[in-house]
């Protein structure tokens, strides 16, 4: 038997591809630099921050409901997708801007919205630094943004400055016109490098052509061991009940420990912290026979209420080991949510990018990988905070995740959902 991977890896990347009808020739391996440095201490009012985080939760749940229509097991990074969309939103105007704001669930002005996203990025960037030198090998969180544009295409300085100031994204100039496929390979290589080769070939053949003018990329990599690891000796074969009532054999991990926990009508919820105690995995276990009802009824208020209800408890937890990889195009889902004009070459208005209405989004690509075992997790996105207590309750709560469940990777300090997924069949 091959040696189990030491950590659980979650890897993500989201890409937006823009096209226009014109063609411009240019050279390669050049960066279009903005004169604006990254704003490292953005000022965001508390009410703006609360609206921003709640809007991110709503976007996550909206997209989740769209994705499950065509996916069985599911894993994706709402943080990664919203990052790419946010950079694009900065160039949207008129109806396109209004529709994107609706899908992103924000009523903030562009300036306030991008400042809030920058604050979130800066907060997440600090996670690895606060993990401690002794935990450096056990906790990694790396986020990267990049733009890939045509050298001679007239991108507006204001747009490039906004991206540099709020997202730290410089524009790499590539030859989409004369070398579309080599450009695609170069972008895929960047994504693979940022995710330590866990996400490969994000952009499929044919996704880039001579009409492509801009590609926006976000990659996030997360690697951490559990704060309290599961003993491999406690892992055992058990039955996992599927939605249709049939069962499959799984490798079930088990341990008893102090964790934040909540239960209510029709569900159990536990928070499993990673090393550093800032990021955790939240497991939502609907009552037997109630998965579809629970899933359909998740709202932002219910989600935030369940998370707030968690208290420190002694939990006897059983959790199946699982490994999952997903890859999909999200254009149809975003259109269904209301982002219609952005994908229509006749209606899209991204004049904030070049001063003209000649750009539109041709597609959105997303890929994710996750592997959960006794020792931890690995990825391209994640973060969180755990409230500690000096004493534990005497009673032990039992939670056996032996049926379909929903899970998040959640940054507790910023209340941000970095990943979301469901397991119907491990």
Which regions of 179-310 does DSSP assign to beta strands (E)? 212-225, 236-241, 247-264, 267-273, 279-286
C-alpha of 180 from chain center: 27
DSSP label at residue 232: G
| 52-61, 78-87, 313-322, 383-392: range with lowest mean pLDDT | 383-392
- pLDDT above 50 (res 385): no
pLDDT band at 134 (very low <50, low <70, confident <90, very high): low
| Range 134-159 burial, b when 16+ CB lie within 10 A, else e | ebeebbbbbbbbbbbbbbebebeeeb
Write down the pTM of the prediction.
Answer: 0.85
- pLDDT above 60 (res 351): yes
C-alpha of 403 from chain center: 24
- pLDDT above 60 (res 389): no
Distance, CA of 163 to CA of 170 (rounded, Å) = 8
pLDDT band at 106 (very low <50, low <70, confident <90, very high): very high
Mean pLDDT of 192-213: 87
DSSP label at residue 234: G
What the block records as the tokens of 160 is 């490039």
Strands 396-400 and 267-273: unpaired
* Residues in a beta bridge with 259: 313
What the block records as the tokens of 115 is 């400042």
Strands 236-241 and 247-264: antiparallel
Distance, CA of 367 to CA of 15 (rounded, Å) = 10
pLDDT band at 371 (very low <50, low <70, confident <90, very high): confident
**Alpha-carbon Rg of the chain, whole angstroms?**
22
In tens, the pLDDT along 148-175 reads 888 788 888 999 999 999 998 888 888 8
Give the DSSP letter string of 24-89: ----SSEEE--SPPP-SS----HHHHHHHHHHHHHHHHHHHHHHTTT-SSEEE-HHHHHHHHHHHH
Distance, CA of 320 to CA of 238 (rounded, Å) = 9
Mean pLDDT of the chain: 82
pLDDT band at 407 (very low <50, low <70, confident <90, very high): confident
Give the percent of the chain with pLDDT over 70.
Answer: 84
pLDDT band at 18 (very low <50, low <70, confident <90, very high): low
Domains (range + CATH), the chain: 8-225+324-370 (3.30.497.10), 232-321+383-423 (2.30.39.10)
Distance, CA of 322 to CA of 244 (rounded, Å) = 20
DSSP label at residue 11: E
Mean pLDDT is highest, among 31-45, 191-205, 393-407, for 191-205
Distance, CA of 252 to CA of 260 (rounded, Å) = 21
Number of H helices, E strands in the chain: 11, 17
Tokens 């960066």 belong to: 31
What local confidence, expressed as pLDDT, does residue 72 receive?
Answer: 85
- pLDDT above 70 (res 7): no
Mean pLDDT of 113-121: 95
Tokens 């007239």 belong to: 154
In tens, the pLDDT along 234-282 reads 999 999 999 999 999 999 999 999 999 999 999 999 999 988 778 899 9
Tokens 């049926």 belong to: 403
What local confidence, expressed as pLDDT, does residue 392 receive?
Answer: 36
pLDDT band at 31 (very low <50, low <70, confident <90, very high): low
Residue 365 · residue 203 · CB < 8 Å: yes
pLDDT band at 35 (very low <50, low <70, confident <90, very high): low
Residue 373 · residue 6 · CB < 8 Å: no
DSSP label at residue 174: -
- pLDDT above 70 (res 136): no
pLDDT band at 34 (very low <50, low <70, confident <90, very high): low
What the block records as the tokens of 424 is 């119907």
């Amino acid at each position: 038997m091959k040696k189990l991977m030491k950590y659980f890896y979650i890897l993500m990347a989201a890409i937006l591809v823009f096209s226009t009808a014109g063609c411009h020739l240019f050279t390669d391996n050049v960066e279009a630099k903005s004169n604006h440095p990254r704003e490292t201490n953005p000022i965001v009012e508390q009410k703006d921050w609360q609206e921003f985080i709640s809007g991110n939760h709503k976007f996550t749940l909206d997209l989740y409901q769209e994705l499950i229509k065509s996916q069985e097991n599911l894993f994706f990074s709402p943080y990664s997708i919203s990052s790419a969309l946010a950079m694009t939103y900065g160039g949207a105007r008129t109806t396109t801007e209004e529709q994107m704001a609706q899908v992103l669930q924000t009523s903030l002005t562009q300036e306030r919205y991008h400042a809030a996203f920058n604050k979130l990025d800066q907060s997440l960037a600090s996670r690895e630094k606060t993990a401690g030198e002794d935990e450096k090998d056990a906790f990694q969180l790396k986020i990267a943004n990049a733009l890939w544009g045509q050298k001679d295409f007239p991108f507006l300085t204001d747009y490039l400055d906004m991206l540099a100031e709020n997202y730290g994204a410089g524009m790499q100039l590539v030859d989409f016109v004369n070398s579309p496929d080599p450009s695609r390979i170069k972008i895929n290589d960047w994504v693979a490098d940022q995710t330590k080769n866990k996400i490969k070939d994000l952009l499929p053949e044919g996704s880039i052509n001579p009409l492509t003018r801009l590609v926006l990329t976000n990659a996030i990599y997360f690697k951490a061991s559990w704060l309290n690891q599961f003993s491999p000796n406690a892992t055992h074969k058990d039955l996992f009940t599927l939605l249709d009532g049939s069962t499959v054999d799984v490798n079930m991990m088990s341990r008893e420990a102090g964790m934040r926990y909540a239960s209510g009508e029709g569900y159990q919820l536990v928070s499993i912290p990673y090393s550093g105690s800032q990021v955790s995995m939240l497991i939502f276990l609907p009552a037997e026979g109630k998965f579809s009802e629970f899933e359909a009824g998740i709202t932002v208020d219910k989600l935030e209420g369940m998370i707030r209800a968690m208290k420190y408890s002694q939990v006897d937890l059983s959790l199946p080991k699982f490994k999952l990889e997903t890859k999909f195009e999200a254009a149809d889902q975003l259109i269904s949510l209301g982002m219609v004009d952005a994908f229509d070459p006749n209606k899209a208005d991204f004049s904030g990018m070049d001063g003209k209405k000649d750009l539109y989004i041709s597609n959105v690509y997303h890929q994710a990988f996750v592997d959960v075992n006794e020792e931890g997790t690995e990825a391209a996105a994640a973060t969180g905070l755990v409230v500690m207590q000096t004493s534990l309750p005497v009673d032990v709560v039992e939670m056996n995740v032996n049926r379909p469940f929903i899970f998040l990777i959640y940054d507790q300090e910023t209340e941000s959902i970095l990943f979301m997924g469901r397991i119907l069949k491990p």
